[in-house]
Amino acid sequence: MTTAKARSARKNFTLSDAVREFWRHPSPWMIGATLIAALVARIAVGDWRVTDAVVPLVMIALFPFFEWIIHVFILHWRPKRVGRLTIDPLLAREHRAHHTDPRNIPLIFIPWKSLATWVLPLTIAVALLVFPRLGMGLTYLVFIAALGLVYEWSHYLIHSDYKPKTRLYRAIWRNHRNHHYKNEHYWFTVTSAGTADRALRTYPDPATVENSPTAKNLHADAA
């Protein structure tokens, strides 16, 4: 594709184009399959109680903080040496690559190997073992899978060529773009703007923040 055609394609990129591209990648299918299986199991188990309405409300309120914690402590993990062993998880390695090349589409998504080996198994184990009732645990699983899909979609859309058309999406888009192109030490939430970041003091006025020389090369200052 010529440069002119590529620019035209980016300019005319629609929401339908974004949807088609989104479903070409494995993580949405893996999370989506988990969501469908959890929903079917939840309906089959029954045993509906008031707590099944409370769980989603609590999860929606806490999800921005969950995103913030994962982003800060796992995705921005600094490789550590323990004797001859280097501790550097795949999620952190892939995220550094994502910062290096934010427009590389496969790097936008949660690595499927991480989903398959521990993220989804751990999430399912929490649902089945931590909650006092199976039905309550399955309610959690349904909504955490739904929120996971929202996260993947939001993150992909922000990095795609789709331009913001609503005030809410524009705020979320700007928040995450600041994280990548302004300073990687701030603006850690992806599906919201000014929520957990504001509460945890990582939501400064962009005009007061210097451009970071390591936004595209995480931890280069420690090399």
* Domain regions of the chain by residue span: 24-222
> pLDDT tens, 73-96?
999 999 998 888 999 999 999 999
Q: Note whether 149 and 28 are within 8 A (CB).
A: yes
What radius of gyration, in Å, describes the C-alpha atoms of the chain? 19
What is the pLDDT at residue 194?
Answer: 82
Question: Which residues lie closer than 8 Å to 24 by C-beta, 6 or more apart?
Answer: none
Confidence (pTM): 0.92
Give the chain's residues under pLDDT 50: none
